[in-house]
Structure 1
């Protein structure tokens, strides 16, 4: 069956119907720039535009760049603070809402590089911020938000996100040094068996991953920047209602 997945990011909101059996987009995705400031009203309007674009009547899954507990937003680092305390599931007409990196990680755990992997697997998405999804033997530990670990006295995502690369006009190899520093910190805390790198930079992994040298294997996300859309749809699929997908 197909489920509509919508991925809310700090710079863009993307959506597409997803074949949740195959883990593939069932139609070309639609991307609309995230309203600035990214307040609930404006973002909800864009989500509605995507639903209408696909003339969608079925289940909808939506990602959010922050901690989400039972559909309620608890943090909003890369969108407007007025989101905190909002019941996003209700706001989006009963859609299933989850953290954006958790959604991307679920997609990779089900269809991508994390499939069948034992031990601790960590997916990190590099974009406007740094999102994280932590799995232990295929089970998700939700809302970890490891982009907000302190690194050199500030949020790690302020130094090592893709936005930081652009803002500081860093070359790929110079940015790789910051990514390596961050990954070593996460590696020290969790001793993972695998890092999966997602977000838009996953399409350009050959530009920076060869410069990253740590003990843990590091691979780009197989689903690349479509992982969030696919993971959102997975969580909204009727078979997953009320449960986090296991391996």
Structure 2
């Protein structure tokens, strides 16, 4: 058991299409030291990602358990899709168990947008979380509980373009910030009509590029929430393996 506080410390890992991030959280979910980050290796195979994570966490303090956010669909600790890493290499990979074996600690794995959402939601009403980064992540919460995962990233939003293609990092670079902002605003309008959310939280590294005035029930979230939300994966009132 860690000596930082009166409970277990958690290694929180955020696996992204462009970067791997990690931090150790105290029992209240605060970072014990500044988070560490390295670029996602290329090719992004399970073995190269695991090797990179092993080196990434070496300077971090001790921990008792692990939370992982992954950019794709996961079921009961196993990867189903990994669109920004290479689904073919990842499909069926038991990432939760492999990370647990790698570091010798119990681990819990969930979609990265859902882990980030656990760090930002208020737990009241219908809350939607989207992340704008390499791709487009989404999560839906009802009174603080995760609902069945909806992979909006691969649903068409305009003609044959998916959400990933419409507002992902490649789209931002291709069309420029002004047009990209119009696209993000259009998605906000679509999600409001589709889900009638009480609150929409927007996170991810590219959220910093938003320049328009947000509606009153739309909130920008800290990019660190993909890390700090990991503490709540160990709340048994929240965690329900799917």
Q: TM-score range by the shorter chain?
A: 0.7 to 0.9
Partner of 2:26: 19
Shift of 1:52: 2.2
Identify which of 77, 82, 85 aligns with 2:92. Answer: 85
Partner of 1:95: 107
Distance 1:234 1:163 in 2: 31
Partner of 2:4: none
Where 1:181 maps in the other structure, the secondary structure is helix
Which 4+ runs in 1 deviate beyond 6 A? none
Partner of 2:180: 175
Shift of 1:151: 1.3
Distance 2:237 2:197 in 1: 27
Distance 1:218 1:26 in 2: 30
Partner of 1:138: 144
Partner of 2:120: 108
1:117-161 Cα offsets, whole Å, 9 max, x none, are 22x110100000010110112211143222222112121120112
Gaps of 5+ in 2: 1-6, 101-105
Task: State whether residues 20 and 230 of structure 1, in contact with CA within 8 Å, keep that contact through their aligned partners in structure 2.
Answer: no
Q: How many residues align?
A: 226
Deviates more, 1:9-18 or 1:88-97: 88-97
1:8-34 Cα offsets, whole Å, 9 max, x none, are 00000000111241x321111110110
The alignment's TM-score, normalised by the length of structure 1, stands at 0.84
The alignment's TM-score, normalised by the length of structure 2, stands at 0.86
Gaps of 5+ in 1: 110-114
1:14-58 Cα offsets, whole Å, 9 max, x none, are 00111241x321111110110112110010112212332215342
Distance 1:20 1:148 in 2: 36
Partner of 2:191: 186
Partner of 1:28: 34
Structure showing the higher helix proportion among its residues: 1
Q: CA RMSD in A?
A: 2.0
Identify which of 219, 226, 230 aligns with 2:228. Answer: 230
Partner of 2:46: 40
| Cα distance change, pair 145–36 in 1 and its aligned pair in 2 (3 A) | same
Distance 2:166 2:154 in 1: 11
Distance 2:231 2:50 in 1: 18
Partner of 1:61: 67
Q: Work out whether 1:208 is the aligned partner of 2:211.
A: yes
Task: State whether residues 97 and 232 of structure 1, in contact with CA within 8 Å, keep that contact through their aligned partners in structure 2.
Answer: no
Distance 1:157 1:20 in 2: 35
Partner of 1:123: 129
Task: State whether residues 11 and 63 of structure 2, in contact with CA within 8 Å, keep that contact through their aligned partners in structure 1.
Answer: no
